Structure 1
């Protein structure tokens, strides 16, 4: 009803002028009709003219009335069109109103969701703040516990070091006493006279009666049991003196064993490739000769360690050692050549006996890939380095980690000597650790990221390969640790795990380049001795030099292994 009233008012206002004109027209029409009726009643001729004029006006008014009626019709049609447009606009307005109401409802729903999310975020932030505060407290406690642990360790190590020093002093005194006794016995044996009788007279001389002149005189003609070099007592003393003891004086008896001393011949610089073969199904990361130089081990990304026999200038496959779940990063033989150790991308190290393809031990505990695994200076001990910035010492008798050392940077490689562990890192540092306390006793600078380490047979020189395309040779004998750098035009370190080696006699250095060539330097001159090209089609990952000095093997990322020699 209200809409109808509103519509009536709008239309009334729009056509008010037209209605007034139409009303006036009707009044004039009625007036004209009245005049005509009066004129018909008065017959005077004077009014005839006025009647005619009135008739003319009437006609004009009719004509005007027709035009106005036509205009009224046109205006009514326009009004109808406007009403249709108005209806459409009203319907669209209603639709927009409904959509606006829906949007308003959606906005309210979104506002409720936002408020809910804000409440959840507030509660989560409160929990996070509580956890952060708890973490800070736990870190504070951890630091305090580490300090306490360091103090306890120092308190424990101090008496042990003193006891070890006392034991070493006693052992040195005993060794000096044995040497003195042995020297006296040797001098006595050298100064004594030994009479040699025939086989028939020797027994009778031992049983000579007291009445014999020789026995009465007690002279020099009396036969005696001299302390000769063939005496078991002297042989045992000599054996004790020249026996190579593994570890320290406080080690167990199992570690006091005799191992063969490595004696290497003069290394020969290879000049040609004797054999090229696809040793693995995927890229090869590591290669190592055994101490006898007749057995070679390779490890690759195909998760296998393969053993090869070196005979008559060729490699013959002997066995494949399985057990790893990811690629192999490093391989190592023990001193006796009966066991092989490997590190893997699967955060573990594996140990095999050469007569068994199943690993005897799997050492797990690192949180990232193990980059290096080495036999330490003591029997039944293994050292591993990892990308998780830790070095771990393992006891093989228990197959357990006995000590963990946190290092400041990514550990890329390790080498072990009798009393030290040397590690190379990505922070361009080489760190020397005491095996008794596993404390860093020295830091040596490198030219760049250290990719590998190797130590000479006499343990006097340390070789490091760096990512700045430089090999660095460090003299470990002096306190100054003199360093010599070796570079060559064209040599490029191909990866973060490229391995270089020292020749067995310490006269040459060998490393593989990203261009697929083997570069060999002369240590005495510092110059490049030779370059062995055209056998590898990809970057060389590792090089090994046999202890006999006769062979060099290089391996690359494209599965190739090349046996080099000077023959």
Structure 2
């Protein structure tokens, strides 16, 4: 603005003369141009004052210098020619300086423009990054809202599930209470049923005793009346009494006397009426509640083994059952073998010439077989089952002849007693029961404090093994435990020697224990071997028929045989079983040993 004022003043102080009109017109146009430039510059300064402040300052100076140069030139043109030569050089010098200054200013203007463009690019990038950040922030905000909505929904679902869980927990508590009440009622009903059966058995026993005493009294009366009556004996029907009897008839009479035992020495005992009465008495006795036939009552003599032979090799390996085998037993004649497993059947095998051939299959059990036993005559077979019962078969019939029910849990052991028509069972319900086969009823119950795993029978006593590491001896006459023998661990099986002098027990601590029963000290010997391991809670071990060896199957699939007198391992029979051996049986003839396992295999071993 100062430059503009100076130029105006210069124009107004021009020298007087007639030639001043043209310069004045030029000065007006110059002033109009300046005002326009100033107006634009002010407008630009208002818009970009901070950015172009330096440029405006330099440009204003340039305009001032340019205006001064034009004023000087105009003054010079109005001066006399004499002064033009002197001032021309100075004007040219000033013009060069102005051009130089103008170039520098233009260069600075270009540089500033480039810096402006760079800053504008940076500003655009910042705007773009700001937009991207705003977009990301918007997405994150939306995701946060969605997550909050999801959290609220999950909380609602959790609240509903918690309410359902509380309701289910309450129903479960009610169901458990009802179950406990049902178990209590079931226990009471079972006790009532057992009590009723015991009462029924006692009433039946009393009735049978009264009938027996009545029959005996009636028979005594008939015998007394027959003894008082006179009987005429014909010569053809009676034995000759004269000395002229032939030797042949005497030998026949002697043989008859040896073959039959006379109940009465009186001649009246041969009366047809007495014989018919005695015959009818025995027939009535057998027609009662007996499930045994006359042939079963006869005790067939059983052979004994003088010397058992230690097996050396496998004679036959076969898949005896469709599932695992739990029990194996030889008959008293050693020519018949029985196996029972979890497939709910018992299979009978004939042993001939060192091989096993299938003879028959006995079914009727609803669950797996746990134990097998032959009667001394070899005509019947008894089995314990998981279905809480014991079953009795005749060997000529595949249908069970008798089913003994009364246990509340699985039956783990079933044996024929030394008394005729009696069997003993042991169960997981911690009871031992004595059964009368003639009446198909339980006549004695012994409660135990532990799970019964196996049992054997001796004269007037029952020996049972339990999971509380004890062996108990029960007297059947006093119905009580008379002795407790400690064991090394959980008892899995028991076996008694043929002379009833030694008891073998197999325990879960991988040890066999042999106890002397006839000595008060109950001396015992333990048998162990490297590699032998009791495979399950029902592993069965046996004594050889002569009592010289012990045999048991191991979890590694091998049969271990010990010498009973020395305690040393006699032999080990490997490589035939691929799984744990569950039971071993030794034939009464001493020739064969059979081992069975959980993988359906049965192996026949012998020494030849």
TM range (shorter): 0.5 to 0.7
* Offset, 1:551: 2.8
Residue 212 of structure 1: aligned partner: none
Aligned residue among 508, 513, 520 for 1:467: 508
- In structure 2, distance between residues paired with 1:72 and 1:230: 157
- In structure 1, distance between residues paired with 2:325 and 2:63: 122
**Shift in alpha-carbon separation, 1:303–1:423, aligned structure 2, 3 A:** same
Residue 309 of structure 2: aligned partner: 270
Aligned residue among 495, 499, 519 for 1:454: 495
- In structure 1, distance between residues paired with 2:139 and 2:531: 74
CA contact (8 A) 2:426 2:452 kept: no
Deviations 1:61-115 (A, max 9, x none): 3223222222233223313422442343244224313421341233123212321
CA contact (8 A) 1:391 1:404 kept: yes
TM-score normalised by the chain length of structure 2 = 0.61
- In structure 1, distance between residues paired with 2:331 and 2:291: 23
* Offset, 1:296: 0.9
- In structure 2, distance between residues paired with 1:149 and 1:439: 25
- State how 1:474-489 maps to structure 2 within 5 Å: 474=515, 482=522, 484-489=524-529
- In structure 1, distance between residues paired with 2:524 and 2:301: 26
- In structure 2, distance between residues paired with 1:87 and 1:364: 93
CA contact (8 A) 1:419 1:436 kept: yes
* Offset, 1:471: 1.5
CA contact (8 A) 1:540 1:555 kept: yes
**Shift in alpha-carbon separation, 1:202–1:62, aligned structure 2, 3 A:** closer
CA contact (8 A) 1:486 1:527 kept: yes
Aligned residue among 126, 139, 142 for 1:99: 139
- State how 1:30-429 maps to structure 2 within 5 Å: 30-43=63-76, 51=91, 54-131=94-171, 133-134=173-174, 137-138=177-178, 141=181, 226-227=265-266, 253-254=290-291, 258=297, 260=299, 263-273=302-312, 276-280=315-319, 285-299=326-340, 305-311=346-352, 313-321=353-361, 330-341=371-382, 353-356=394-397, 372-375=412-415, 377=417, 383=425, 385=427, 412-415=453-456, 423-429=464-470
Question: 5+ residue gaps in structure 2?
Answer: 1-44, 77-82, 228-232, 243-263
Q: Secondary structure at the match of 2:378?
A: coil
Deviations 1:454-487 (A, max 9, x none): 2445666542112333212345678x78251331
Deviates more, 1:338-347 or 1:508-517: 338-347
Residue 219 of structure 1: aligned partner: none
* Offset, 1:297: 1.7
| 1:564 paired to 2:564 | no
Q: Secondary structure at the match of 1:18?
A: coil
| 1:551 paired to 2:591 | yes
Residue 7 of structure 1: aligned partner: none
- In structure 1, distance between residues paired with 2:405 and 2:198: 31
- In structure 2, distance between residues paired with 1:357 and 1:168: 31
* Offset, 1:281: 6.0
Residue 220 of structure 1: aligned partner: none
- In structure 1, distance between residues paired with 2:208 and 2:515: 30
* Offset, 1:143: 8.4
CA contact (8 A) 2:456 2:496 kept: yes
CA contact (8 A) 1:460 1:477 kept: yes
Q: How many residues are treated as equivalent by the alignment?
A: 506
Deviations 1:242-265 (A, max 9, x none): xxx99xxxx955579835276452
- In structure 2, distance between residues paired with 1:18 and 1:256: 131
Deviates more, 1:109-118 or 1:422-431: 422-431
Deviates more, 1:326-335 or 1:450-459: 326-335
Q: Secondary structure at the match of 1:544?
A: strand
Q: Secondary structure at the match of 1:103?
A: helix
Deviations 1:188-246 (A, max 9, x none): 9xxxxxxx9976998999xxxxxxxxxxxxxxxxxxx9438997989x99xx9xxxx99
Q: Secondary structure at the match of 2:327?
A: strand
Aligned residue among 23, 42, 52 for 1:19: 52
Aligned residue among 555, 567, 591 for 1:527: 567
**Shift in alpha-carbon separation, 1:201–1:332, aligned structure 2, 3 A:** closer
Deviations 1:258-286 (A, max 9, x none): 35276452442204558610132677553
RMSD (Å) for aligned C-alpha atoms: 6.0
- In structure 2, distance between residues paired with 1:303 and 1:159: 33
Deviates more, 1:289-298 or 1:336-345: 336-345
CA contact (8 A) 1:321 1:357 kept: yes
**Shift in alpha-carbon separation, 1:266–1:285, aligned structure 2, 3 A:** same
Structure of larger gyration radius? 2
Q: Secondary structure at the match of 1:293?
A: coil
- In structure 2, distance between residues paired with 1:335 and 1:31: 147
Aligned residue among 22, 25, 29 for 2:62: 29
| 1:495 paired to 2:535 | yes
**Shift in alpha-carbon separation, 1:506–1:87, aligned structure 2, 3 A:** same
- In structure 1, distance between residues paired with 2:438 and 2:411: 23
CA contact (8 A) 2:303 2:333 kept: no
**Shift in alpha-carbon separation, 1:511–1:433, aligned structure 2, 3 A:** same
- In structure 2, distance between residues paired with 1:262 and 1:13: 138
Deviations 1:505-542 (A, max 9, x none): 656533345573441433xx453484364785666543
